[in-house]
Amino acid sequence: MSNALRGTHTLLAAALLVGLFGCSVQAPLRVVDENHPIKIGSLAVISGSHRGGDVLLAQLVTRQLESSERFRVLSQQEVARRVPDYPVLVEMQDSSQIGESDETAIWFSPAGKARLDAIQARLGVDYVLVLWIPKITRETPITLHGGQFFHVYPVGNLLEYPAGRLVAATRMHAGESIVWVTTRNKSSGERIDNLIEEAAENIATSLNDIRAKTR
């Protein structure tokens, strides 16, 4: 389990500024067709690559959904048992093909879709939720005298099988702003893990809410 959420800020100024700028989330999960219900069924969450952020996000979303009664969720251990060399690369679409405001974007490339179909064939689930974090940033603006911005940008797609139909997408931005480097009780990695954990909670909650509305 991640070390995220351990400890508290030691500087009051940092705590106040984080509270002011905080975290923003766009489109935790958007359905593609409001008239197409997401049904009760089995589901696997797939890391889109072997990168640490992608793997952690898939683990955390799985953990959140395992306590839900709306899906029968495969554990990450079971996914790894059935899919050789998991996590494997699911190739993403060229970002130039995706509009900046497109909240139901297709994030996988044709080759990535073929990989997802092959993974689903081994898993035998009704739904596959594939997730990536293609961008993680840490910025230290000169004007902040040591303050830092941490941001993660998760994206993903939910596909329904056997048709392999895109039914929902996620496009998010989670950020923790102006954290002073003199606050020593959390490392940069822990702060990023914290943002990934928050993103995972939002994705899982959004999926459960969509399912509840379409039962």
Task: With beta carbons less than 8 A apart as the criterion, state whether 156 and 131 touch.
Answer: yes
* CATH number for the domain formed by residue range(s) 20-213: 3.40.50.10610
Tell me the per-residue pLDDT of 46-76, one tens digit each, with 9 for 90 and over. Answer: 999 999 999 999 999 999 998 877 789 999 9
Mean pLDDT for all residues in the chain: 79
Q: Which residue has the higher pLDDT, 40 or 16?
A: 40
Stretch (H or E) spanning 147: strand 147-160
Determine the residue type at 56.
L
Name the phi and psi angles at 120, rounded to 5: -60, -35
Task: With beta carbons less than 8 A apart as the criterion, state whether 190 and 6 touch.
Answer: yes
Tell me the per-residue pLDDT of 102-124, one tens digit each, with 9 for 90 and over. Answer: 777 899 999 999 999 999 999 99
Tell me the per-residue pLDDT of 148-200, one tens digit each, with 9 for 90 and over. Answer: 777 888 999 999 999 999 999 998 876 554 444 444 456 677 888 888 998 99
Mean pLDDT of 87-96: 92
Under the banding of pLDDT at 50, 70 and 90, the label for residue 97 is confident
Long-range CB pairs of 13-20 (<8 Å, 24+ gap) are 13/180, 14/178, 14/179, 14/180, 14/183, 17/147, 17/177, 17/178, 18/176, 18/177, 18/178, 18/179
pLDDT score for 34: 85
Task: With beta carbons less than 8 A apart as the criterion, state whether 127 and 43 touch.
Answer: yes
Give the residue extent of every domain in the chain: 20-213
